[in-house]
Amino acid sequence: MTENLDWSPKGRWTARAALNRALHKKKIRRPKKCSICGARPGVDRQGNSKIHGYHHKGYEDPHKLNIIWVCISCRNKMVWARKRAMEANHD
């Protein structure tokens, strides 16, 4: 089954803006723990959490706030998996 997901840079920007608004309004809380591996990576030197909100369903409207919270290494794994899947779909 192939879903028509939007991973465009523009979609990414608006989805991130929507996420930041939701965080600001406290509609969403950023956990301290990776939801995949359970790591607690803490914060960087600027005090920003190292847990990233990953738009695992793409950036289209119903999924703008459909986030999974993951550490950078789990996020990278998912980004690579997605890239590979997209390359496979090109043929």
Residues that bind Zn ion (CB under 5 A): 34, 36-37, 39, 71, 74
3-state DSSP assignment of residue 14 = helix
**Nearer residue to Zn ion within complex by CB, 40 or 83:** 40
* Amino acid letter, residue 27: K
3-state DSSP assignment of residue 12 = helix
Query: Nearest approach, Cβ of 36 to Zn ion (angstroms)?
Result: 5
Q: How large is the C-alpha radius of gyration of the chain?
A: 14
**Nearer residue to Zn ion within complex by CB, 37 or 85:** 37
**Nearer residue to Zn ion within complex by CB, 14 or 56:** 56
